[in-house]
């Protein structure tokens, strides 16, 4: 099914903690991941999924703990963290794109300014990606002229443009209606099939089941369950996970 | 202060050019009629001749105002942007310094600032040229307002965009250059025009430190000829020649920078 199998994700998280004032967002999280191409984080809101993803994106600095991505420890201090951020990509829930730039320029900007492509080369790469995601008709539109689904797909195109080590999705479809959700999930599935490693926070359990190699269930800032997708969904070990899946899969 | 909010469509834009021209002519005719009526009511003995013989004073005054305005305009932009950035600085003393500067300048009369700056500060730093001092005073005065306009523009850029910029690996400087400023300038432009126009007119206050600018020239001629209106009507026209191009130019720029959000 998979075209490339050589660059599986290796993630080594140990004792990761993060507190926001009174809220313990992550409470000594440890996670070991090998030979995985797609990890999906599920769990109730406020359970720590997004915080974990933001730490992996280099956008949040943990209070304690270490993270190793593909054998390399993330140094949580500037300017090393800036360099790290340039090797991974995040797709947020919404507002990923800059409103004053066209779809094409949104993709070309980081290529040109951060990754030192020549301007024409950056535009070529951007245009190629837009074609790959059937967005070339919208290349010269500003985000306001695009639908929510198109915006997210342009954001995904921008994310993969730099060939990141991993693409991190933070509830990429939560702000979209069902039709657009399907459109965006199709694109993520296309990436996955083409061999892009990804970590995804989502509430779309059907998609999680389909696309995930591994699933982690986070609740109360801790990883309560972690394992193969099938085993987590079909035979959850903890009461919390059972209750969570029972609720979200009820309708 | 501004006739039109950016982003909203201009209601006139859909009209045909001919009807727009006709409307403009009617508006001009209305203004002319009001002035004609008013001037017709007063019995005033016009004496353009005596004023005309002093026209060179008026012209040189206008040139002084032009030179001071252009200098202050550029300096005040630099000062304004610098202090706007200082107010967002992580270095607290710098931030507070910028805050105090803005509040002091905005909260006190320009007249007092001119006197204090000229007789105390400029003297202490041995700057003798009153034209240079005048331009500097105006720049610092206008710079305080511009820094607030620029700061408001910068702060209108949402946190989510700054987050996006950070996530794609832009440095702080690059974020300002490619994300914040292009958008902030669009929002800041209309209030900036108002500020530039004010700056030009405020330069007339420099006459109190004996800068022979445009308004002072008109005053001088008036004191010789006693032809008040003949001095001050050209004065108004002379200021319009300076302020109108700025308004028109920025209007055009605004159109070019417009995008939907």
Q: What are phi and psi of A219, to 5 degrees?
A: -150, 135
Residue B169 has its nearest CB partner, among A86, A92, A99, at A86
Token representation of residue B162 = 């700054």
- With beta carbons less than 8 A apart as the criterion, state whether A229 and A208 touch: yes
Cβ pair A113:B163 closer than 8 A: no
Q: Alpha-carbon distance B245 to A186, whole Å?
A: 53
Report the interhelical angle of B130-155 vs B92-107 (nearest 10°).
120
Per-domain residue ranges of chain A:
1-87+166-251, 97-164
Res A18: pLDDT: 93
Cβ pair A110:B178 closer than 8 A: no
Cβ pair A144:B259 closer than 8 A: yes
A contact test, residue of B157, B159, B168, B261 with most A CBs within 10 A? B168
Q: Alpha-carbon distance A53 to A45, whole Å?
A: 14
Residue A57 has its nearest CB partner, among B158, B167, B174, at B167
Q: Do the strands A214-219 and A198-201 form a parallel or antiparallel pair, or are they unpaired?
A: unpaired
Tens of pLDDT along B21-34?
999 999 999 999 99
Q: Alpha-carbon distance B2 to A230, whole Å?
A: 62
B contact test, residue of A98, A107, A109, A126 with most B CBs within 10 A? A98
Q: What is the mean pLDDT of chain A?
A: 90
Task: For residue B132, give every residue at least 6 positions away whose Cβ sits within 8 Å of its Cβ, in sequence order, or none.
Answer: none
Token representation of residue A215 = 């699933």
DSSP 8-state assignment for residue A41: E
Sheet with A64-69: strands ordered across: A23-36, A9-20, A64-69, A72-73
CATH superfamily of this structure's domain A1-87+166-251: P-loop containing nucleotide triphosphate hydrolases (3.40.50.300)
Residue in chain A closest to B175 (alpha carbons) equals: A113
B 204-243 residues with CB < 8 A to A: none
Tens of pLDDT along B159-218?
889 999 999 999 999 999 999 999 998 888 889 999 999 999 999 999 998 888 999 999
Token representation of residue A148 = 């929510």
Residue with tokens 């995930």: A212
Q: What is the mean pLDDT of chain B?
A: 88
Q: Alpha-carbon distance A155 to B118, whole Å?
A: 56
Pick the residue with more confidence: B247 or A250?
B247
Q: Alpha-carbon distance A114 to B177, whole Å?
A: 13
- Helix spans in chain A (H): 49-56, 80-85, 103-113, 119-132, 148-161, 178-193, 205-211, 229-234, 239-248
Which pTM does this prediction carry? Answer: 0.80
Q: Is B33 exposed, middle or buried (0-12, 13-18, 19+ CB in 10 A)?
A: exposed
Q: Hey, which residues does B189 pair with through a beta bridge?
A: none
Cβ pair A109:B186 closer than 8 A: no
Tens of pLDDT along B249-258?
888 888 877 7
Interface predicted TM-score (ipTM) = 0.87
A contact test, residue of B167, B183, B254 with most A CBs within 10 A? B167
Q: Alpha-carbon distance B192 to B147, whole Å?
A: 10
């Amino acid at each position: 099914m998979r075209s490339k199998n050589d660059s599986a994700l290796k993630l080594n998280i140990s004792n990761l903690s993060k507190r926001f004032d009174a809220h313990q967002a992550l409470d000594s999280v440890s996670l070991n991941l090998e030979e995985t191409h797609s990890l999906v984080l599920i769990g109730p809101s406020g359970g720590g999924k997004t915080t974990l993803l933001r730490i992996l994106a280099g956008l949040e600095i943990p209070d304690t703990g270490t993270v190793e991505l593909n054998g390399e420890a993330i140094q949580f201090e500037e300017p090393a963290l800036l360099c790290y951020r340039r090797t991974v990509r995040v797709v947020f829930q919404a507002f990923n794109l800059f409103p004053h730039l066209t779809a094409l320029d949104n993709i070309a900007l980081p290529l040109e300014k951060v990754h030192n492509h020549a301007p024409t080369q950056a535009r070529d790469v951007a245009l190629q990606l837009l074609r790959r995601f059937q967005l070339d008709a919208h290349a010269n539109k500003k985000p306001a002229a695009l639908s929510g689904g198109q915006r997210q797909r342009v954001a995904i195109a921008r994310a993969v443009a730099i060939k990141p080590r991993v693409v991190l999705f933070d509830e990429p479809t939560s702000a979209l209606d069902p039709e657009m959700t399907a459109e965006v999930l199709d694109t993520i599935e296309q990436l996955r099939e083409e061999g892009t490693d990804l970590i995804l926070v989502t509430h779309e359990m059907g998609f999680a089941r389909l696309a995930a190699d591994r699933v982690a269930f986070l609740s109360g800032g801790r990883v309560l369950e972690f394992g193969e997708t099938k085993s987590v969904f079909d035979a959850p070990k903890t009461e919390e996970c059972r209750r969570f899946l029972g609720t979200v899969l009820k309708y | 202060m501004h006739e039109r909010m950016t982003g909203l469509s201009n209601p006139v834009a859909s009209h045909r050019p001919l009807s727009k021209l006709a409307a403009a002519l009617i508006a001009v005719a209305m203004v002319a009629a009001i002035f004609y009526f008013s001037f017709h009511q007063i019995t005033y003995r016009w004496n353009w001749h005596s004023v005309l013989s002093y026209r060179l004073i008026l012209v040189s005054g206008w040139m002084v105002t032009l030179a001071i305005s252009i200098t202050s305009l550029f300096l005040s932009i630099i000062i304004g942007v610098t202090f706007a950035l200082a107010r967002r600085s992580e270095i607290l003393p710098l931030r507070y310094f910028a805050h105090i500067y803005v509040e002091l300048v905005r909260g006190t009369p320009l007249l007092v600032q001119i006197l204090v700056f000229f007789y105390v500060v400029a003297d202490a730093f041995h700057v003798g040229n009153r034209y240079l001092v005048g331009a500097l005073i105006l720049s610092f005065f206008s710079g305080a307002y511009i820094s607030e306009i620029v700061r408001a523009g910068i702060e209108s850029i949402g946190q989510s965009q700054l987050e996006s910029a950070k996530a794609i690996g832009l440095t702080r400087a690059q974020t300002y250059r490619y994300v914040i400023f292009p958008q902030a300038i669009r929002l800041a432009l209309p209030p900036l025009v108002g500020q530039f126009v004010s700056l030009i007119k405020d330069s007339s206050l420099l006459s109190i430190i004996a800068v022979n600018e445009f308004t002072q020239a008109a005053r001088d001629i008036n004191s010789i000829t006693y032809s008040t209106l003949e001095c001050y009507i050209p004065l108004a026209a002379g200021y319009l020649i300076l302020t109108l191009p700025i308004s028109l130019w920025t209007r055009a720029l605004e159109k070019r920078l417009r995008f939907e959000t």
